[in-house]
Every structure is written in structure tokens, then in C-alpha cells.
Structure 1
């Protein structure tokens, strides 16, 4: 920027700059994203952006980028980037940035616009922002809120004691207390009552971390031990128009009419949450305001397993933590002949070079369940699977062999994981591996069998709750996963690495190496930086439907306060 002017001589917490481009057949359209982070409660009073040295320029054409769903049934889709009609747009959001609650002001500046069939170009911009700072901040009585069914509250006392021994002020609250709390009167259903309670816990106690304990109840009919929220976003894939999103429970606030307000994910008030179907769209804040993880336990036995794993992981750091398992192959049959899964896992490893790379690549070995299980059983700090999935399995292809699938890792391989407490954090690139609403009772439903939804438990949760091994946590998609295809922006870098899930998965490891070593903060910070990086508009911080979907469905199954690698003396 040539000049940034603010009218108060106070410190703005953070200013970050991102640059990008959308190429046409004649010339590139540059856009600049400028992010300002102010203390929570700041009032943004006026924004002025003046384009400089404006002149008429050449004609442009629209440009599309392609992407493919990772659901083992490839279908190329397109998002079209349009030439803007305004020099700038902005959005104001509320969220967390590395433990600090902030108001985010994001400016989207475009060097070229269209107007009345003509095109104009600006060389730079003058920016002026007027704002006033808040007079009070939130309390800090507790750090960590655990929400549990009443019958499991006493079981969590051991975990509470452990967390407090590490300096994390913890409170466990049962669902009946939440449903009878004064804040519950605002909730239209159980999920919204839980969300209102989280809001109250932020304002009364200063909560920063929330763990939801409970998944789906046993049986054919869908009932929940712990409430969930389904979105109503139709990406026109023909596969799904709804999927689970725990981001709902993290995105507590929005900025509205000059102040922060409750974010109900129903901006049009029609009772349909997180709606995006055709022209009907709820405008959402999307920024996490608390760091949320879920233990999708279906019974008390699974809860005991997870409590034991978390305590031992944090108390007993292990030498094999410095191993990073990379699992990938050839994801797409594209013109560039990229071996996408191998490229993505290696790109992630570039941020982790003090770790030993354990390469399980389809170009080098068979990705059999035996080879994958053996690698995990040696212990590791991280594992990154990048390929294709469904709730029951993960797989990919050998280079160029798209008629056959590698054996990969199936849910019925999970019992053979015997890595004790040497447990990796597992990031999964693929569709539906974390779709935790599955049921073995769906085995008589042909469509659900075809989609792999007749599993006793989903791939990610089975991996996480495995006794005497498995993972300490998993991060993956509850719905269709998406990666870029080809090199549509002609920069010599596969789009697979630069957009959608590829960006999320790879930058998770970058942010870890930048020093964010608490799992929930790392997960949410990755979502926050994705929102910062990709285009938004005056209605939402993300303007493209698939960008919104990938952050909504990226689920953490695990303890959000987990100290990655454990507490070392």
C-alpha cells in the first residue's frame, strides 16, 4: 500500500498483506487483501478507499479454475472468477487469532474494474479508517469448557484434574445444565442452546477452548448423544446438499450494525441454518471464536479410552514423535500428469524438515493396508494421507493407473494398529473420512451402502478412539473434499497445492512450525488464515461456495487443548 491512515494513534494488533491474481486472456487482474485486527469490541466507524491514477485499459475475459471432488468418483467442476465492478469491498468479522479475540477488517482491493462495458485500472490506493476502541474485555475465570452428557460428567473428572495440573483452568458442564440455563431460552433447538451457552461461557468465564463429548447414539434412527449442526449448502455436486459442521459451535460472533452480535448461521431468519442453495444464501462470519474439538464417543468405554490416551500422550513424550508419515499417490488423471498426493505430502514436509519423512508413496511401494499399518505401528508425531476417501476407507492410485485402486486403509484394518501411546496427529485429504453420522444399520439401504455410510463408525473416529494405538486426533472432512486440478493460473505450481483442501492441509503444517503447538488453536488458525487468504466480499469473508464448504466441513476429532508432542520437562 502507498499509504494507510488511521485516525487514532493506537496500536493495531495485526496488519497482514496478501497478493493474488486472476488471469484473463489479455492481462492479469491483481487483487490485494489487507487484514487489520483490532481488539474485540472495537467499533469501525468509517472506511475510505480512494483509487489513484485511474486510466482506461484493455478488454478482459472471465477466467475459471477447475477443481475435483475427492470421493473416488471424479467429476471436474468450475468456479468462475469475475472482473469486479467496484474498486474495493470489505468485510468485518469476529474471531480468534493465536489466542487473541479480535475484530477483523478485511479490505479487498482490485487494480482493474469494469464499468459500462469499459475497463479501468488504478495504480494504487489511499486508505483511511476511523475506529474507536472498547472499554472492557472478557473475564478469564476458565480456559477450557468440556460439554458432556450428564451420565459422563463424573468420568471426565480425571481429565479435568490432568488439565488443571498443566495450568489449564477447566470446567465440565452437563447437557441438562445447559438446557436449563437462562441462555437456553434463545435457542431454537438443542444445538443452538449449546451454542448460546458457549457464548455465555466466553462472556462470563473467558473460555477459549471447547470440547464436545459425544457422537451418534446406537441405532438406525439418527439420534445424538451430543448435538450437531448440519449445513444446508448445495455445491451442485449431485452428491450431498447437507453435511456436519462443528465450525458452527466455534463461530459464536458476527459484526453487525457497528457491534458484535450472536452468529446464528441463519442471517435471513428462515430457520434453515448455513443455507446456500442457488440465490438463497445465509451470510456467515465463519471465523472461529473458540477452539472446538469433538470426542465423538458412542459410549462411556470409548470415552475412557480417549481420556487415557490424552493423559498418557501429554505426560509421556515419545522419541518417535519426530517421524512424519506421508501417504499419497496419483489422485487425478490430468493433463499435467502430476502425482498430486505425493506432491502435497512433500510440500507439507518442507515445513517439517526436522522430522524424519516416512514416505508411503504409490510410485515407490504398494499402498497396502499392511504397509500403512506397519508404518503407523512404529510410532509417529504426524501422518498426512492425501488422496480419496469415504466413511469406511482411504485410497489412491499408482501413477497413471486410474483403473485400479490401491488397497489403502479400511476401517476393518484399525484393529491391527498397535502403536501404544506413540500416537500421531492425522490429517486426511479425501472425502467423508470424518463423517461421524454413519451407522451399521444402514447396511440395508442401497444408497448408503454405495456411499460407504453403513460403517459401525467413520474412518477418522475409529482411527482416533482405537485402544492401544491409532491416532491421538484426526482432522478431515465430513463431506466431499475438494482439491484444485491442473495449473489454471499458469504459475508453474499445481493448483492442487494452492487452493481448497490442499491449501488447508499443507498450511496446517506451516502454522505448526511457526510455533502454534496447541491442537485446537492450530486447527482454527489454519481456518482463519484460509479465510484471510482467499477472496471475500461485503457479505461474507469467503465469496465462493466451495471455499465456504471446505472450512465448514474440516473437523477436529480430538482434544482442542492437546499439547502437540506432550509436555516436555
Structure 2
């Protein structure tokens, strides 16, 4: 006869067929968040959009956000400034400013998103009356107060080096937003890529040969204009109307003019480069004044 003995029996269960906790649903490429959702630490976000109620969940913003998510394979989160003020303002706000606690709340939110969601890009949608800029006194003989938007991206450490890329669509309505989206589409999906670049130097300043050489080294046909060489406003208008991919301006300026070459705000109406919108780098005073 065969004998069997069971000592300290242990029952193992595989769990097969049992109910398991549901996995959270995958996050949509474009996610609109409100209220306390802004403090969530579990979101994933490459590209953060901060905007105003007037643009939040509108067709124009949704079209752009979904295009950017698909074209660049990015996860996008969109939040309203009123919710940011509610969730990130208060006496203990790290970046609280005695004159404007709203910009401090925005920076705290961006910092939260940077450390918890891993954002790489920040886009503000709306003019300064919709989403405020940050202002500080520029230390020079005029003591001018300037808008300093890059401040929003300096969130790691106490230095003033940006930790992510940032831009703003200074728009007042959905039509304006759609216009910017259309220009981006034209730039990112050209019928024929434009390898022309324009370098414009004013008032006898020393040309930045490094920029010119860099553009030529990667294949651009660079046109150079110099006011001390006799070039004027009409030459600038003609060159832009020819179609440029990049325009670099170095000279004196103001909020409504490139002074040395005499290009005024009213001259914009003389441009007809509708099939070739350039990226413009302006080394000039006040040309980025938002308000």
C-alpha cells in the first residue's frame, strides 16, 4: 500500500480569472483641465497651453492643439488662467509679486507642470489683457519697466536660464488665432521650401558675420542690406516680398518702427509675401513690446 502525508499544506492561487483593478484610461493627446485638476501629479504633458476663458475649448484653439499634437506627436494640456489664480495664488506663493500676484501664480503652475508632468514647451494664448506678462525694471539709465516673459520658464533653481521653450500667440479673438494657425501651416507645409534669408544691418553697426556664415553654411541664399551702404526701406520691402525664410534685423528701433532703415508700422501694408512668412529675429529696442 502507498501512504501519503500532507504537512503544513499551502494553497496557492494564481488569480487567473479574478477581477483586477481597472487600468486608468489612456490620456487623450489634448486634455483640457479645470479646477483642482491643475494640481494633479499624474498627468503626462509635453506641451502646456495657458489661456483665457475666451479661448478655452473654442474650435480655433482645439484645431491648433490637435494639429500640434498629431504633427509633433506631443501630449498637450490646456488650462485657464482663472483656475491657475485660484489653485496657485495666496500669501505663500513662492513667486508672489507685490504688484501682481497673477504672474507669480502662473509661474508656480508652470513649475508644478515642469516637475510633475515633464513639460518641455509652454504656449500662452491671448494678449496681455487676457494672460498677463511679467514685468521688471530694466537696470539702465532710463529705469524702464519691461515685460520679461522668459521669467515664466526659469523654474529650476534660482538662475535666469530658461528651462523650457516658450512662445505667445498675442491674439484677441478666434479669427486672429486661426490666422496664426494658417501661417504656421504655410510655414510647416510649404509647396516649395524657401532657402532664402535676409540680414539687415542699421546705423553702421558691426555686422554679425557669425549669423551670416551660419545661414550660408546650412544652404541659405543670404541677402545682406546695410543702411550705411545706401540700402533703404524700399530695399527691405522688396526683399521681404521676394520671399524669405528668415529675416534678421540689427539696429535701433521702437514699438512701431525699425528706425535706422525707416521701416514703419504702416509699411506692413506694403508687404505681399503671403506665400512665404519668415521667422524674424529683431535685435532692436522695444520690438517685442506686448502692451
**Common fold by TM > 0.5:** yes
Structure with the bigger RCO (C-alpha within 8 Å, sep 6+) is 1
Which residue, 102, 111, 124 being the options, matches 1:199? 111
Corresponding residue for residue 249 of structure 2 = 385
What is the CA–CA distance in structure 2 between the aligned matches of 1:172 and 1:309, rounded to whole Å? 22
Any idea what the Cα deviations from partners look like across 1:343-402, whole Å, max 9, x if unmatched? 22x43111111210112222444312x221221112111111111101110132xxxxxx
For the structure 1 residues 170 and 318, does the alpha-carbon distance in structure 2 shift closer, same or farther, using more than 3 Å as the test?
A: farther
Partners of 2:54 and 2:42 in 1: how far apart? Answer: 29
Larger deviation, residues 148-157 vs 299-308:
299-308
The answer to whether 1:394 aligns with 2:250 is: no
Equivalent in the alignment of 1:242: 145
- 1:175 maps to 2:175: no
Determine helix, strand or coil for the equivalent of 2:85.
helix
- Please state if 1:361 is matched with 2:226: yes
- CA offsets, 1:120-154, max 9 Å, x none? xxxxxxxxxxxxxxxxxx98821101111111122
Residue matched to 2:263 = 409
- Answer 1 or 2: which has greater helix percent: 2
**8 Å contact from structure 2 (residues 137, 143) kept in 1:** no
Whole-Å separation in 1 of the counterparts to 2:149 and 2:245:
25
- Asked whether the equivalents of residues 384 and 428 of structure 1 are also in contact (C-alpha less than 8 Å), the reply is yes
Separation in 1 of the partners of 2:81 and 2:172? 16
1:268-317 deviation line (CA, Å, top 9, x unaligned): xxxxxxxxxxxxxxxxx101122111112233332221122123322336
Task: Report if aligned partners of 2:48, 2:77 keep a CA contact under 8 Å in 1.
Answer: yes
CA 139–287 in structure 1, closer or farther in 2 if over 3 Å, else same: farther
Aligned residue runs from structure 1 range 325-336, under 5 A: 325-329=198-202, 331=203
Q: State which of 205, 208, 213 in structure 1 corresponds to 2:120.
A: 208
CA distance in 1 between counterparts of 2:110 and 2:65 reads 18
The equivalences for 1:94-243 within 5 A come to 141-153=44-56, 154=58, 155-166=60-71, 167-181=73-87, 183-185=88-90, 186-187=92-93, 188=96, 189-216=101-128, 224-235=129-140, 237=141, 239-243=142-146
TM-score normalized with structure 1 length = 0.40
Tell me the distance in 2 between the aligned counterparts of 1:318 and 1:172.
33
Distance 2:82 2:223 in 1: 47
Q: Partners of 2:274 and 2:145 in 1: how far apart?
A: 36
Unaligned runs of 5+ in 2: 1-40
SS in 2 for 1:152: coil
Aligned counterparts of 1:292 and 1:252: Cα–Cα separation in 2: 13
- Aligned residue among 183, 192, 210 for 1:309: 183
Deviations 1:171-226 (A, max 9, x none): 22122222233x3344441111111111111123211100111224xxxxxxx211
Mapping of 1:519-538 within 5 angstroms? none
| Residues in 1 aligned to 2:164 and 2:231: alpha-carbon distance in whole angstroms | 41
CA 1:305–1:240: 2 relative to 1, 3 Å: farther
**1:428 aligned partner:** 282
Q: Distance in 2 between matches of 1:379 and 1:249?
A: 34
Cα pair 1:229 1:244 within 8 Å, conserved: yes
Q: Which runs of 5+ in 1 are unaligned?
A: 1-137, 217-223, 255-262, 264-284, 332-338, 397-405, 438-569
Instruction: Kindly name which structure, 1 or 2, has the bigger radius of gyration based on alpha carbons.
Output: 2
Distance in 2 (alpha carbons) for counterparts of 1:210 and 1:243: 20
**Is contact 2:186–2:276 with CA below 8 Å preserved after alignment?**
no
Shift of 1:417: 1.8
Distance 1:312 1:171, change over 3 A: farther
Which structure 2 residues correspond to residues 334-353 of structure 1 after superposition, within 5 A? 339-341=204-206, 343-344=207-208, 346-353=209-216
Q: CA RMSD in A?
A: 2.1
Q: Which residue of 2 aligns with 1:287?
A: 161
1:440-485 per-residue CA deviation (whole Å, 9 max, x = no partner) reads: xxxxxxxxxxxxxxxxxxxxxxxxxxxxxxxxxxxxxxxxxxxxxx
What SS is found at the alignment partner of 2:200? strand
CA separation of 1:310/1:202 partners in 2, compared to 1, >3 Å: closer, same or farther? same
Output the CA distance in 2 between the equivalents of 1:318 and 1:184.
48
